[in-house]
């Protein structure tokens, strides 16, 4: 897992993945993890982009 820093701290990241006809967005921030599901890819990407901007990240990962 490339989002793990030394001393076990996890850096913020956003991942988008399609599985079984649904789109999932996973947001990792501090000690919390949130996963949301969407029926449409465009909605998932819009949510991921909003979270990317909120967290100040350069990009998000499409798995």
- pLDDT at residue number 16: 98
Residue-wise pLDDT for 4-63, tens only, equals 556 667 789 999 999 999 999 999 999 899 999 999 999 999 999 999 999 999 999 999
The Cα–Cα gap between 47 and 18 comes to: 14
* pTM as predicted: 0.84
How far is the C-alpha of 11 from the C-alpha of 41, rounded, in Å? 25
Spatial distance between the Cα atoms of 6 and 27, rounded to a whole number of angstroms: 20
* Other Cβ atoms within 10 Å of 5 Cβ, number: 9
Is pLDDT above 50 for 1? no
* Residue 3 pLDDT: 58
């Amino acid at each position: 897992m490339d989002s793990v820093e030394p001393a076990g701290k996890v850096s913020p990241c956003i991942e988008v993945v399609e599985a079984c006809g649904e789109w999932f967005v996973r947001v990792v921030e501090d000690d919390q993890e949130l996963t949301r599901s969407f029926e449409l890819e465009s909605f998932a990407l819009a949510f991921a982009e909003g979270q990317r901007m909120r967290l100040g990240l350069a990009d998000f990962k499409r798995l």
